[in-house]
Amino acid sequence: MNTSSRKWLLLVAPLAALLTSVALAAAPPGLLVLPEFAGLAKQASETVNISLDPALLGLAAGFLDSSQPDDAATKELIAGLKGIYVRSYTFDEDFAYPSAQVERVRAQLNAPGWQRLVEVNNVKERTHVDIYMCADHGVAQGLAIISSEPREFTIVNIVGAIDLARLHRLEGKFGIPKLAVPDNAGGGSDKGK
C-alpha cells in the first residue's frame, strides 16, 4: 500500500466508524437487524417480506379510511409505530430452514431492553413461538415474535409503542378468527395464564 492510499485510509476509516456509530445510535430501540434470508426465500414455497419504515407507515395510514371502523382502528394502532418488519417463509418440507440464521436474530434479543414475555413450545405440533418486548423506561418500544413451525418460519418486528390489547381487538378483521380470551389478556405477559 503506498503512502497516499494509507493517508486516504487513515482519513476514511475514522469517518466510516463515526458514521456507523451515528447510524447505530440513531436506530430506534426495538429495531432488529433482520437478515436477508436470501437462501430461505429460494427454498420457500411462499414468502412474505415486508419492511414498512416510518415513511411507508405514514403513507399507508394516509390510505386508510377513517370513516371505516376497521381502518380507523388500524390507523389508531399504528399511530405510535416507527416500523413493521415481517419475514415469513413457508416450505414444502419440514424444517427446511437453518437454525443458525434464527439464532442470529435471537442473539439480538439478548440485548438490554428486550424481555421475553412468552415462550410457547408445543411438542406435539412441533411449534415454538417466542414473544419479546422491548421497553425503555417502562414504555414499550418494540415487539418481536419468532415463530418456528415444521413448515413455516416467521419473524415479526414491530418498532414503536405497540399496544397488544389494541392488536387483539383487531382480531377477526384480517381473516383471523376471534379468540375466546378475555380483553385484559392483551397486556402481554399474562397471556398464557
Partner 1 sequence: MSDDDLERQLRVALKPAHPGADFAPRVLARLAAEERVPRVRLPRSQAVAGWLTFGLAASVLVAVLLAHQWQVRRTEQGIEARRELLEALRVTDQKLDLAYRVVNAPPHAAAPQHSGA
Q: Which of 67, 68, 73, 42 lies closest to 170 in space, CA to CA?
A: 73
Least distance (Å) from partner 1 to the CB of residue 104?
19
Question: Of 24 and 176, which has the nearer Cβ to partner 1?
Answer: 176
Question: Of 12 and 33, which has the nearer Cβ to partner 1?
Answer: 33
C-alpha cell, 124: 406435539
Q: Which residues contact 77 (CB under 8 A, 6 or more apart)?
A: 163, 166, 167, 170
Question: Of 32 and 158, which has the nearer Cβ to partner 1?
Answer: 158
Q: Put residue 127 in one of left, alpha, beta given phi > 0 → left and psi -120 to 50 → alpha.
A: beta
Least distance (Å) from partner 1 to the CB of residue 145?
5
CA 60 from centre of chain? 18
Residues at the interface with partner 1 (CB under 8 A): 48, 50, 52, 56-57, 59-60, 62-64, 74, 77-78, 84, 86, 88, 115-125, 127, 129, 131, 145, 147, 149, 154, 156, 158, 164, 167-168, 170-171, 174-177, 179, 181, 185, 189, 191-192
- Interatomic CA distance for residues 173 and 113, integer angstroms: 31
Least distance (Å) from partner 1 to the CB of residue 128?
9
Question: Of 19 and 181, which has the nearer Cβ to partner 1?
Answer: 181
Helix (H, G, I), strand (E, B), or coil: what is residue 65? coil
